[in-house]
Structures are given as structure tokens and as C-alpha cells.
Structure 1
């Protein structure tokens, strides 16, 4: 009987380890999935008109800040966008090297990275509001954002991550839901005008 209980405990532990490993892989690679439908929409329509390209900028800034935190290492022209990203990266690298020993700086850098990531959908929300339309934006992308943000926030809560992780995750979910509500609202307005 004791052997049977021991085997069951080992099975539960092995299952939990596998689940934890899979969750970690989703945390690392799952963030790219929402952009596949948006890319397909851009390819299909041959323009980026309905998609806020500032989403990409916010994502780059959040990830650059996150890289420095972990210490693993209205744009009109693409060149301006790239120059800003390069300059921002060099600036962050210099400041990080100077203040690397400061616990306050490292914590502030991590919180700033989380805050920027939490604001990822905000440019899209504002562009939809400005256009009074979600045309050209991939709804699948936003649904995948929402699923990923719910997963990520749940992951943070279950792993007792610091409060700023789940607060920022909850903020992302709120913005995602607001964008989905815009889809319903603006589609409803279109039906009323057509009907």
C-alpha cells in the first residue's frame, strides 16, 4: 500500500513538473503567436492601416527593458523608428551599466518593463477609438493577446510572483477586453448605419 501511494505521489510530482515546464515554454514563446493572424491580415489586405504599428514599438521597449532587467545581455519613416530603438537601447545599456549595483534601479527597471508591457494594447485601443473602427485589425490577434494575458496572469498568481506582475497582467487583460468591446461597438455602429 505504501509503495502504491509513493508511486502516485511520484506521478503527481512528474505531472506537475511537466505542466510547469510547458507553462514556462508558453511564457517564453507564446507571446509571438498573437501576431501571426495580424501579419496574415496585413498580407491579405496589403496595408497596415487598421493596425497600430506603435504596438510594435511598445513591445520592443518593454522587451529591451526586460532584457536589461534580467541582464542577459507618430513614426512616419522606418529609419526614424530604428534610430529611436537603437538610441534607446544604447541609452538603456549605458545607464544599466552605470547603475547595475543599485537594487533600487534594478527594481525600478523591472517595474518599468512590466508597465510598458501592460500598455502594449493601448496604442491599438486609442487608434480604434480615433478611427471609430477596428477595420484592418486582427480580432484573432486580440483574442490571442487576451488568452495569453489571462494565462500569464494566472501563472503569476499561482507562482506567488510579486504583486506588480499580476497587477500589470490584470491591466493588460482590461485593455484587451476594452479592445474586444470596441470590436462589438464599432461593428454594431456599422450594422446600424447599413441597416
Structure 2
């Protein structure tokens, strides 16, 4: 084997490794975003309680990913990112279905349940107790958004603004959880594994955006998302450490009284 053949084989090997690596990364980008929600899904079904999970996280992700699909029509970005949005939409619908099903078990009087079909659209928005109400709102939003996008198809600035808004919403996706934790002064019922895997995923995703030179909206909002993930992890550490300390102090006081 001469040097030329050896170099050709080496180049082929590097090319195959690159292709395989890109395939693995692409699959991770398309489906990796739903992995954190598996932990929350398991937490909800194991404890039979969805109280620690904010459904507005689903609202943000549904809105942002539906808008991202529309953004793709106006400014074609990588197909992997389009598939990622579609997969996330389906995942969020599954999360809503599971949370609503579990929450409904704790609402005994049927007349106390909120539903859009009973005219309860604004007062208890996104706090309904039947899955069909959420499905109706998502369907109407998708239809209206698609219609507007069709009419504004040739307006470049519309697509740029919509793309930024979609990705900004996605970056703020766990902000409702951050606010909920602050108001409740606890992270009980929230899966720490979910938030940690969200952080890892957002780090990888943002790196992918930078390397693949995705539209500017993607990396900018990715860095914002990473910051919010870190803030929630700090909440988990602070609130759970405080809860453990209070429990220890209570047990110490109880033992002191007994002695």
C-alpha cells in the first residue's frame, strides 16, 4: 500500500466518523429535548400528583415550537430543528394529558371542574381539568398562526420577528416554574433530574447552534435558557437544603423535650 492509498483510506475513515458523529448529534437534537420531561412524567405518575409541575411550561413550549414551525416556512433552517419542534409539540401534549388526568383524580365534585366548554376561557385560562380544552386552544392558535403566516409570507421582517419571539418564548420556558418555586418557597414535586438534563441539553443545543451557524435568534436565546436552568437548580439546592435543616432542627427540639 503506497502513501496515497493510505491517505485516501484515512480520509475515508475520518469522513465516515464525521458522518456517524453528525448523525448521532442530529438524532440527539431532534429527540434529546424530550428526555428531561420523561423524569417529570415519571415523577407525576409515581406520586399521583402533578402539583409541582407548572402547566404553563407546556404552554410556553407549545406556543414557541408552533411558531418555530411557522418560522421554518419563512426562513428555512436545518430540518433537524424543524423535527425537534414537532417532537416537542407531541411531547407537551402528552405531558398535559398526564397532568390533567392525575389532577382530575383530586377534584371530587364534577361541578367544580374548569372547562372551556362551559365558557371558562379567561378566568381559569390554561388551568382546565379536561384535555380537550387544551387541544381546542392549541388547534385554534395553530390555525390562526398558519393563516397569518400565509398572508405575510413575503414579508421578511415578519418572519424575523416571529422567529425571535418563538425562540425567546422557548428560552423563557421554565420561567413559570422559577416563579412557582419562588411563590411556594419549595421545589417539592419538581424533578431535579429533569432540570439538570434540561441544562445539559441546552448547553449541547446552544453549542450546536453556534457550530452550525443557525439564525442568530437560536444561540442568543439558548444562552438565556441556560441562565434560567441554572437559577432553578440553585432554587432546588436552596429550598431542599433549608427543608432538611428545618426537619433536623425539629427532630432535635423534639428529642430535647423528651429528655
Say yes or no: TM over 0.5: yes
Partner of 1:11: 13
- Structure 1 counterpart of 2:206, from 139, 143, 153: 153
Aligned pairs for 1:131-142 within 5 A:
131-142=184-195
Give the TM-score normalised by the residue count of structure 1.
Answer: 0.93
Give the TM-score normalised by the residue count of structure 2.
Answer: 0.71
CA contact (8 A) 2:163 2:217 kept: no
- Structure 1 counterpart of 2:245, from 169, 175, 192: 192
Task: Report whether the alignment pairs 1:76 with 2:127.
Answer: yes
1:192 Cα shift?
2.4
Partner of 2:181: 128
Structure 2: gaps of 5 or more residues: 74-81, 87-124, 250-259
Task: Report whether the alignment pairs 1:93 with 2:146.
Answer: yes
Structure 1: gaps of 5 or more residues: none
Higher Rg of the two aligned structures: 2
> Using a 3 Å threshold, how does the CA distance of structure 1 residues 190 and 126 change in structure 2: closer, same or farther?
same
- Pick which of 70-79 and 139-148 moved more: 70-79
1:56-112 CA-to-partner distances (Å, cap 9, x unmatched) read 111110111011112389522145433332232122111111101111112222222
Partner of 1:115: 168
Partner of 1:181: 234
Output the CA distance in 1 between the equivalents of 2:18 and 2:8: 15
1:162 Cα shift?
3.0
Output the CA distance in 1 between the equivalents of 2:59 and 2:214: 26
Output the CA distance in 2 between the equivalents of 1:189 and 1:8: 57
Residue 113 of structure 1 aligns to a residue whose secondary structure is helix
1:140-194 CA-to-partner distances (Å, cap 9, x unmatched) read 1111111110110111112222332111111111111111000100012112222
Output the CA distance in 1 between the equivalents of 2:245 and 2:189: 20
Output the CA distance in 2 between the equivalents of 1:65 and 1:101: 17
Residue 101 of structure 1 aligns to a residue whose secondary structure is coil
Output the CA distance in 2 between the equivalents of 1:130 and 1:121: 14
Output the CA distance in 1 between the equivalents of 2:233 and 2:127: 27
- Structure 2 counterpart of 1:43, from 45, 54, 57: 45
Residue 34 of structure 1 aligns to a residue whose secondary structure is helix
Regions of 4+ moved over 4 Å = none
Partner of 1:22: 24
Output the CA distance in 2 between the equivalents of 1:55 and 1:43: 18
